[in-house]
Amino acid sequence: MKFEIKETFYIDDQPIRLISGAVHYFRLAPTEWKKTLQNLKALGANCVETYLPWNLHEPKQGEFCFSGLADIETFLSIAEALDLYIILRPSPYICAEWDFGGLPAWLLADDRMRVRSQYQGYLQAVAAYYEVLLPKLVPYQYTKGGNVLMVQVENEYGSYGTDHVYLTFLADLLSRYFDVPLFTSDGGVEKLLRGGTLPQRSILATVNFGSQAEGQFAALRKYQKEHGIKEPFMCMEFWDGWFSSWEKAIIRRDPVETGEEVRKTLQKGSINLYMFRGGTNFGFYNGCSDAGVNNEPQITSYDYDALLTEWGAPTEKFFAIQKVIKEEVPTAQIAAPIYPKIRGIGAYPISAAVSLFSIVADISVPIRNDYPLPMEKIGQNYGYLLYRTNIAKAASEAVLKVVDAGDRIQWYVEQKPVATQYQAQVESAVTLELPKPCSELNLLVENMGRNNYGPKLIAPTQRKGIRGGVLDDNQYLSDWWHYPLEFTPQQLQKIDFHQAVIPDTPTFYQAIIHLERPESTFLDCRCFGKGVVFINGHNVGRYWHVGPVKHLYIPDYFWQQGKNEVIIFETEGIQINELTFIDTPLMD
């Protein structure tokens, strides 16, 4: 069995045009993997592509996860059973609108860290990760009887750097394990192709775009001629939609226009539709776009205006592109798609509530330091970090300022709200009334997502929490207690809902729901402020009243038959009395 790249793609000596769709297993519930891939086949596709996020598979250095949402082997086995070819992208950096572009946050504990470079600390970490990951993928190669055709070296590196020594290091590592072809993917611009490819290694160069196939492939054609290469054209990411951020409207793309651009691409070569189904940024894994001085964290929904909705329903775009595929590739096997079942499971009262300040010392082991430390310096990757100190002052008020922090800070004096700062507001002065000679100050800092693309990948702002300090006039306050709030299942189990509710402070709400069977549903978030939702200990994502999506999609995977516990961490002091689960999404 062999897959060859000549003037076109060949599988066992037969020419083939790859029609692929991007499906991120880690953004879908495992119960939805098979139906999603069946719908990909129904579209007329013969291949599936997926990234592999390093930070999901190695959440703590030396601790690995390949179960649940991270069960890549089961996902690949399902694809093989459906006779779909597979394109794997296990590069350390994936972008993908995923926190830190898939790089693990624990890298940032090293002050000298330089990601995507020859820095030895980074290369050693990549090698250690690959030593665990890659042997799991090797059996799925086409040459070993599996369906994996190609493996990515790095992702859009030409849009970041020009270090071919680093790229060669990755290619050498991958070549020790894989004998199927390697590839790179970059923008269809000469400069980007020069920076991100390795022509001397016979590694396939592909391009990413969402329109104007002729111009994009022209740059690739010029690159091939310069290096004496004759290889097939492939768009490794055809952007059929786009992602969404908080405080902005959802971006939509016309289905017919998208289909016609797909047609132009298919007339030139092979295609991978990014995304076929986007899915959901479960947990705290959403990425963040560079918007100049500020940043734009992405929302929980990664619907992407893709061919299938976030919850797996075929869209007009699905049928428009299916029609184009059949017209351009008459041998493509199309079929009617499968529709998901979404249920409204009803309204349920809140059974208990407790304020964060009442229990923080019980659920979090504090770390004491003379000055505030960012999350990564105390071994925390995601979530919230509560900073606590005391202000001893004879006067009745103080003027304080946080120096260099991200991303959102809520101020409390003696457990009463004072101010909320976000991004550009963070370094503004805050006037505090001090009711006691020694008043307790709490700063709750939320990590809303690290940059996943661009020059800020190596910026100090990738570290979350307070990076500088807290000034009282010109004096830095000292003696800080740090309470990490990553909200692991183990931490959530420690919540004592018998403790006090303090008005206008961050609060946990609990609801107990009994179900005859697990159902996929939407949680109505219109009456909430800002926070995160947990179903049976699973973090299903963030909500925020300023966002364009007013629901959280909750797949059946997170529910169980019988008793279920729902916990909401609401940071805005809004009282929640009831949870309502509906069968219809709510979007602006």
DSSP per position, 17-35: --EEEEE-GGGS-GGGHHH
Rounded CA-CA distance 530/14 in Å is 55
Determine how β-strand 19-23 pairs with β-strand 47-51: parallel
* Calpha distance 270→16 (Å, rounded): 9
Provide the annotated active-site residues. 156, 237
Low-confidence ranges of the chain (pLDDT < 70): none
Strand order of the sheet with strand 538-544?
352-355, 507-515, 562-570, 530-535, 538-544
- Average pLDDT of every residue of the chain: 97
Q: Which helix (H) or strand (E) holds 150?
A: strand 148-155
pLDDT digits (tens, 9 = 90+) for 527-539: 999 999 999 999 9
Q: What is the pLDDT of residue 588?
A: 86
pLDDT at 170: 98
Residue 326 pLDDT: 98
The string of DSSP codes covering 299-340 is PSB--TT-SB-TTS-B-HHHHHHHHHHHHH-TT----PPPPP
**CA dist., res. 527 & res. 545, Å (int):** 8
Domains of the chain by start residue, with CATH? 3-328 (3.20.20.80), 346-354+488-582 (2.60.120.260), 371-478 (2.60.120.260)
CA distances to 61, 111, 177, 196, 199 from 202, rounded to whole Å, are 33, 36, 17, 13, 5
For residues 540 and 534, is the Cβ–Cβ distance under 8 A? Answer: yes
pLDDT at 484: 98
